[in-house]
Structure 1
Amino acid sequence: MEGLHTRDGLLEKRSSGLLQLWKKKRCVLTEDGLRLHKCRSAGSDAQTAAFGSKAKELRFERMATVDCVEYKRGLVYFTVVMAPGKEIDFRCPQEGTSWNAEIALALVRYKNLQAVQTGKNRHLSSSSSHIGDGEEL
């Protein structure tokens, strides 16, 4: 089930330029990460906002954490910290389910699945080295 779609909607991302403007992005949260599409229109929701086919992908494997949650004037501000230390700022409306919580939970789920898989692989490789030593599997 690679890339299963779990949430879709609008977020605002702070640009990295000198002015650091907030730009609307159509975001798709999957099991593997967050895809950010540029919005081409001023639509107020994900269904009416057209989006480009080219998406920037923030993969969970390179994500460290979601933090810096602040509530101001009906908006939730949060930061996605990538593994090399790059920080990406977002904001979304406070009402409804918060994107920061959705992304954080999906990241934890991803990291837990990776840890379980790593543990299984270690167990399999250590038990396969004992095959033929009279032990039952």
Structure 2
Amino acid sequence: MLGTAVCDYLSDAFPAVFGIDFTAKMEDDLDAIAEGKEDMVQLLRTFYQPVEKTLEAEFKDKKYIDIEEKSDEKCEECGAPMSIRYSKFGKFYACTRYPDCKGKKQFHEKIQIPCPKCGGDIYVRLTKKKTPFLRL
């Protein structure tokens, strides 16, 4: 899901760089490299220089990209909708009224298969070493 959120953000923020026309041309250029018709280093320079300028201009005063996903959860403190946010520890739900409301709660990813014993929900959890395991 984070990858999807990042792709959506980049596509919206940089339509010239991540648009269909640009990627189609890039695919043609990469095919030309594979066929020996284009120089790889020169092509990458022509690709990277405009992207670098665009990124520098966009993120000049930013320390991080603020990415959030919508959710159906409601804040237990104020009743406002909650969004899925990301931290270095993983996903969590945060109140959309932040900083007025600091409501947050743990995000538990549910798998689509019910428990074979009781039919209840099964959630993916992570160990301290970020190894996933399933929990009822």
TM-score band, normalised by the shorter chain?
A: under 0.3
Q: Higher strand share goes to which structure?
A: 1
Rg larger for: 2
Considering Cα pairs closer than 8 Å and 6+ residues apart, tell me whether 1 or 2 has the greater RCO. Answer: 1
Q: Higher helix share goes to which structure?
A: 2
